[in-house]
Every structure is written in C-alpha cells, then in structure tokens.
Amino acid sequence: MEGTLNLVGFGLSAIGPAIATGMIFAAYINGVARQPEARSILQPIAFLGFALAEALALFGLVLAFVL
Amino acid sequence: MSLTISGEYRVINLQLSGDGFVPPSTKDFDLPPIFESIEWLTKPVLLVFLSVILVSVFFVVSARKAAVVPSKLQFAGESIYAFVRNDLARDVIGPEFMRFVPYLFTLFTFVLTNNIFGIVPFLQFPTMSHVAFPYVLAAFSFFVFHYVGIRKQGLLKYLKEIAFMPGVPKPVYILLTPIEIATFFLVRPLTLSLRLFANMFAGHLLLLVFILGGEYMLSDPNLLMKILSPFAFTFGIALTFFEFMVQCLQAYIFTLLTALYIAGALADEH
C-alpha cells in the first residue's frame, strides 16, 4: 500500500465541513418547508453558507497534497 | 486517430506489473499526448475543443428555426437558456441581470459539457479534473465581479466597502478587515476553482477504483473473486449515476456562485 497519512488527516478534517454542510441544508429545507415562498430569498444565502463551509474542506484537501 | 482512454492505459499497466492490484492514483490523470509530435494536444485539450464545438453547434441549430410552436430541439435549447436566465441570473442578481446572462450561460453550458464528458463512453474523462481549466474559469469570474464592482462604485469606495464593512463596531475591524480582504481576493477565486476540480477529480478516481477493481477481480484466477466481481461493477454503475448528479450540481454551483459574487459587487452595501 502506498499513500501518506496526510490523506487520513484530510478525511478527519472533512468531518467538520460535512456536518456544517448538512446543518446548512437542513436549515434551508426547514425554512422552505415552513414558508415555500421564501425559497428564492433563502437559496442564495444557503449556497453562500455552503460555499464557505466547503471552502474549509477544500483547504484541507490542498494541504493534504501540499504538505 | 487513437484516443488513449485511461481505462485502456490502465489495463496495459496492470498486465505489465503482473502481480497485485495497483490502485488508481494521480498518475492516471497524466495522459500522454495523442500524437507524439504535438506535445500540447492531450486528451483534456481535445475535449475542451470538442465541448466548444458541441455547445455552439447545439445552440445554433436549436435556435436557427425558431418558431412560436417550438420543435423538440428548440424546446430543449430554450429550457436550458431559461433555466440560466430565470433561476440563476434573475433571481440572484436582480434588475440588472440581463447584462450577465451571456457570461453565465456560456459558463454553465461549458462547465456542464466538460463535466459530463466524465461519464460519456469512450471520452470518459472530466476535463475539469485537470486543475488548470477551473483556474482559468475562476480567474474570468474573479475579474468579472471585481470589474463590475469597480465600475459601479468606483475603485476607492469599492475597496473601502470590502475592507471596512459598514455598520460594524470599530474594534471588530481588527479581526474583520484581514478576513474580508482574504475572502474577496484569495478565498473566493481559489475555492471556486478548487471545488470544481476536487469534485471532478475525486469522482473520476472513485469510478476508476470500482471499475478497475471489478476488472481485476474478474481476471483473478480465484473463483470466489470472479463471483464477487459483479458487486464492484454494480457499484461502479450506481456511482456513474451519482457522478452524473454531481457533475450537473457542480456546473450549477459554479454558475450560481459567480452570479452571487456579481450580485454582491453590484449591491450598494454588502
């Protein structure tokens, strides 16, 4: 087997953004379910939040390959 | 003309290495030039040219005989256009959206076509799994949204609004200003490109693991391995559908985030 421990570290560090992404979309779905007409207002906010949370996972990915 | 399909390339590798399963790695993404003499013409480059031709031909043909009662082709072309114009540009950017529809539409169709190449038989390589292509696309988006912001608000006011977000207590600026500057000039373009790259790269690697693993199990002399190999192939097929979903989603997210950033630059206060 080849590979580095970095990738294991990346896997561990991806747990945080994964939970964050799940929570963001859970809140978005909740909001739309309660008030369907708010969808177009909530969608950009949800995706911006998702992008920020995923950015952290992507930092981890970059560092896993760079370090 | 011989297209070097990564699968074929791997099979040769497997036979040469003889013993043991060689898991797919980043080496599988370094495809050799198609012709020995032309060094820059690799498979991803060819796929980019192909995607440009496909997208242009499709939309020119679908719009050429435009009629009030649309044909099936015209309907397909107009649905994609309406999706980008209404759901992405109008809902996110607001009243000034029409100026940005050509850019967003080009971006969406280009990224989508290149992503879907990842599961098209015989092509089977997502162009965006080579990081250079997302970098260039993100650079375009980066320049577009900064240019729009500077044109709208003037250079100094635009930079001031980025660095010193209005309506925040003064001591917070010590923390906020570096974060905001890093977000606008570093994090946004980097994550925009890396998100697309990482998804396409990981997806292609995942498919390689299951398909090549199944192939290896099938070619193993052990009978139990042969019997179990269909499970790997089934997973490979299921993941291909999953990949299709991810590929569409990533094209959507790339375009949506570009639209969001443009909307942010256009807004008077952030």
Give the DSSP letter of residue B122. T
Between CA B79 and CA B252, with CA B72 as vertex, the angle to 5 degrees is 25
Domains and CATH numbers, chain A: 5-66 (1.20.20.10)
A58 touches chain B (CB under 8 A): yes
Sequence letter at residue B187: V
Residues in chain A: 67
What is residue B70's predicted lDDT score, i.e. its pLDDT?
A: 83
Mean pLDDT of B94-114: 94
Highest mean pLDDT: which range of A14-18, B19-23, B86-90 = A14-18
B127: exposed, middle or buried (C-beta count within 10 Å: 0-12, 13-18, 19+)?
buried
- Tokens standing for B99? 């100026």
pLDDT score for B4:
44
Query: Which pLDDT value is given to residue A58?
Result: 82
- Is residue B2 pLDDT above 60, yes or no? no
Share of chain B above pLDDT 70, in %: 92
Residues B75 and B69: their CA atoms lie apart, in Å, by: 9
Among the partner residues B194, B198, B260, nearest to A47 by beta-carbon distance:
B260
Which has the minimum average pLDDT: A19-28, B8-17, B208-217, B238-247?
B8-17
**What are the chain B neighbours of A37 within 8 Å (beta carbons)?**
none
What is the rounded CA–CA span in Å between residue B125 and residue B227?
29
For residues B252-268, give the mean pLDDT: 89
- The number of beta carbons lying within 10 Å of the beta carbon of residue B113 is 22
Question: From CA A49, how far away is CA A29, in angstroms rounded?
Answer: 14
User: What pLDDT is attached to residue B19?
Assistant: 59
Distances (CA, A) of B64 to A9, B50, B58, B61, B227: 54, 21, 10, 5, 53
Q: Per-domain residue ranges for chain B?
A: 6-266
Chain A closest-CA separation from residue B63 CA (Å): 29
φ, ψ dihedrals at B178, nearest 5°: -60, -40
Range of weakest confidence among B16-25, B88-97, B147-156? B16-25
Using one digit for the tens of pLDDT, what is the confidence trace for B217-234? 888 888 888 888 899 999
Q: What is the DSSP letter of B173?
A: H
CA–CA distances in Å: residue B218 to residues B24, B116, B149, B209, B239: 17, 28, 58, 14, 19
Q: What average pLDDT score do residues B106-131 get?
A: 93
* Average pLDDT of span A25-48: 91
Chain B residues inside the 8 Å CB shell of A43: 91
CB nearest B194 (choices: A40, A44, A58): A58
B18 pLDDT exceeds 80?
Answer: no
If you search the block for the tokens 């696309």, which residue do you land on? Answer: B137
Contact state of A44 with B191 under an 8 Å Cβ cutoff: no
Residue listed under structure tokens 């709208």: B152
pLDDT higher than threshold 90 for residue B36:
no
